[in-house]
Amino acid sequence: MHEQLLETVETLRSSNYLRLDPSLVARILELEADALEARSGSGILAKLEQTIDQALAAASDS
């Protein structure tokens, strides 16, 4: 995963989107980076949705 890309997104998150969990954002970028070479058949949408649902569940539990 590209370090600079992560840094850029994290800087923006920490200034404008504090309600988003940094680990959720990092995970989404990681999933997108992994799916970059083979988009079709990667199940990226399902993986993203699952990650987001898990983050929402964790937030409501806490």
Partner 1 sequence: MRLNKLRFHNFGPFYGDQELDFGEDNGVTIIYGRNNFGKTTLLNSVRWLFVGKFRERTGETRANADLVNRKARKEAPDEPISARVIADLTWKDTDYILTRTVTLDGSRTQVSVDVIRGVDALSREQSQALLQSMIPEDIQQFFLFDAEDLNRYEDLLHHSSAGEELKGAIERILGVPVLKNGVSDLRELSRRHNKIIAKLQTADAAANSAANSLAQLNEVIDRMLEDKQQIEDDIEEATAERERIETELKKSEIARRALEQHRLCEAAYHDAHTGYDNALEAFQLVAPHAWVAVATARLEQELSTIETELTELVKAQRQNDRATLLAELRAEIDATGNCPCCGQPATNADHDPPSSGTDLSEAIATLRHRRNTIQRVLDSSKTAVLRERQSALQTAEMILHDKRTDLREAEEEVEDFGELDHSIADMPNQLNNTKLRLAHLQQDLSVADNSLTDKQQAAHDLGKVVAEQGGEEGQAATRKQQMLTDLEELLDSAIATYRNELKNRVETEATEVFLQMRSNPDFIGLSINDDYGLAILNNDGELEPQRSSGYEHMVALALVAALQRCAPVQAPIFMDMPFARLDPEHKITTLEAMPSVAAQIVLFVHEGEVNHAQATQALGQSLVVERKLLQHSSRHTQITTLEGG
Task: Report d(CA 51, CA 36) in Å as an integer.
Answer: 18
Provide the minimum distance between the beta carbon of 58 and partner 1 in the complex, in angstroms, as a whole number: 12
Q: Binding string to partner 1 for residues 6 to 35, with x set by CB under 8 A, is what?
A: --xx-xxx--xx-xx---xx--xx--xx-x
Whether residue 31 contacts residue 51, with contact meaning beta carbons closer than 8 Å, is answered with: yes
The answer to the question of residue 53 lying near partner 1 (CB under 8 A) is yes
Q: Which residue has the tokens 């999933």?
A: 31
Report residue 3 as tokens.
């370090």
Interaction of residue 58 with partner 1, rule CB under 8 A: no
Does 45 bind partner 1 (CB under 8 A)? Our answer is: yes
